[in-house]
Amino acid sequence: MTELTQNPAIGSAATDDSNAGHPMWSSRLAFILAASGSAVGLGNIWKFPYITGENGGGAFVLVYLLCIALIGIPIMVAEVAIGRRGGRSPINSMRQLAARDGLSKRWVWIGGMGMIASFLILSFYSVIGGWALSYVGNSAGGLFVGASSDSIGALFGNLLSDPYTLLLWHSVFMVLVIMIVARGVSSGMEKAINILMPILFGLLLVMVGYAMSTDSFAAGFQFLFTPDFSKLTTEGVLTALGHAFFTLSLGMGVMMAYGSYLPKNVSIVKTAFTVSILDTAVALLAGLAIFPLVFANGMEAGAGPGLIFQTLPIAFGQMPGGVFFGTLFFILLVVAAVTSAISLLEPVVEWFEEQKGISRRKGALIGGLSIWALGITTILSLNEWSGFHPLGMFERFEGKTIFDLLDYVTANLMMPLGGLFIALFVGWFMSKQAAENELSIGNGFAFKLFMFILRFITPAAVLVVFVYNLM
Ligand code: PHE
């Protein structure tokens, strides 16, 4: 198959028993683009800055970076390796590998849990994608020009308090995602990522440049990179861990699905490093662009999910060419969100195809509409139901709306749990020979180190964070 005419992960169901005819990414670059398309999204530009702000900055960032290095990258390698060896959709790859090594059928649950997590995540992801969409219009319409931080704040407040506008944009976002996934073979997807990702990167650099021109750049930089451990809570550590999974799209089979299309001669280890470094760079650049503005305008770093929507427009309102840069930025944010969202809808559609024999188009429609409907609970959490805290009787969930709970349960519980089992599977259960073949870094020091991390460090880290949080 040719590189830019077909996106196999989106296009093929691979329900057959032999994977001889399984399509392949044409190159390492094609895989990197698709995997980065999934990884780089709202998690980097929307979520990372606001949770960093809520958790006091530097110490949180340090833990997050450690989680990426010690937990995220090894699990990405393991997940892609399972996918490539299984050569099918996550559930069937797990089934196939477990059978091949004579293991319990229960391993397919990893795939099942991942699918449920995808469903839940996309329901609120799409609402936030809708915010970004509405900001394309706000920027193009010149609403930011010369606006004060108060009026920018009011603009965001008005959006959140209006369920109908939120519903409109959530619907537009979901329709976009359903259309792309339903078409399956989406020509141009990789090409789009290939062109737009560097532009997003460049634009983030421009914004960091702007942040440097404010006199609060040093304050922002310090906030991000000078750890103050007195500000870090055990809950913050769990959030950092959960975010490492969220931002790299790990622990739920997405990377497994993409890995099943990776040609045998491509290095999984190198590729996982490339994708993770790219993803981390985008998040850090976003942080560097945002925090100086937060301090320059006397705003609250812990302002919550609205942080980027309340800070960046101030910059766009003041910088030369701000209407252009602002509009471009929010368009790119939407594109980054859409390429992540399609990787979230894909497992659901695949499951419909495999288990229910439902066509891709119907599956995308049924799955997408159900997710859209669930998204309404997130919309209402922001206004009418903001006082509704379904699990409020538990201390841990006090004050958490349905939106907060969906985010918490998926990122902080389901994804790390999925990742834990993926690490255990490759570290302890899959045959060592198979691991060696997939990693193809020989069987010397590098391999032993990697297996040690996967067998002991990664599971122990996830467990320790879990246990601490239960106590
Ligand atoms: N990684 C994506 C982001 O950072 C979100 C995502 C999570 C996508 C899980 C797929 C799977 O925005």
Residues with CB under 6 A from ligand 1: 38-39, 41-44, 121, 246-247, 249, 252, 254, 340, 343-344
- Candidate from 10, 68, 254, 343 with most ligand 1 atoms within 8 A of CB, to mutate: 343
Q: Residue type at 325?
A: F
> Is 177:369 a contact under the CB 8 Å cutoff?
no
Q: How far is the CA of 109 from the centre of ligand 1 (A)?
A: 20
**Beta-carbon count within 10 A of 183 CB:** 15
Q: How far is the CA of 360 from the centre of ligand 1 (A)?
A: 22
Q: How far is the CA of 66 from the centre of ligand 1 (A)?
A: 19
Q: Residue type at 176?
A: L
Q: How far is the CA of 118 from the centre of ligand 1 (A)?
A: 9
Q: What is the pLDDT of residue 299?
A: 87
Sequence-separated (6 or more) residues with CB below 8 Å from residue 317? 144, 145, 146, 147, 152, 326
> Is 68:322 a contact under the CB 8 Å cutoff?
no
Return the residue whose CA atom lies nearest to atom 10 of ligand 1.
249
Q: How far is the CA of 246 from the centre of ligand 1 (A)?
A: 5
Q: What is the CA radius of gyration of the chain?
A: 21
Q: Residue type at 432?
A: K
Return the residue whose CA atom lies nearest to atom 7 of ligand 1.
249
Sequence-separated (6 or more) residues with CB below 8 Å from residue 32? 271, 274, 275, 278
| H-helix segments, 184-267 | 189-213, 217-225, 234-247, 254-259
Token pair 């830019």: residue? 4
> Is 159:131 a contact under the CB 8 Å cutoff?
yes
- Candidate from 340, 406, 407, 410 with most ligand 1 atoms within 8 A of CB, to mutate: 340
Q: What is the pLDDT of residue 348?
A: 84
What tens-digit pLDDT sequence spans the chain (471 residues)? Answer: 333 333 344 333 333 334 445 666 667 787 888 899 899 999 999 999 999 999 999 999 999 999 999 999 999 999 999 999 988 778 888 888 898 888 888 998 998 899 899 999 999 999 999 999 999 999 999 999 999 989 999 999 999 999 999 999 999 999 999 988 888 645 566 777 778 888 888 999 999 999 999 999 999 999 999 999 999 999 999 999 999 999 999 999 899 988 888 888 889 999 999 999 999 999 999 999 999 999 998 889 999 999 999 999 998 998 889 999 999 999 999 999 998 999 999 878 877 887 788 998 999 999 999 999 999 999 999 999 999 999 989 888 889 999 999 999 999 999 999 999 999 999 999 888 888 888 888 788 889 999 999 999 999 999 998 888 777
Q: How far is the CA of 83 from the centre of ligand 1 (A)?
A: 18
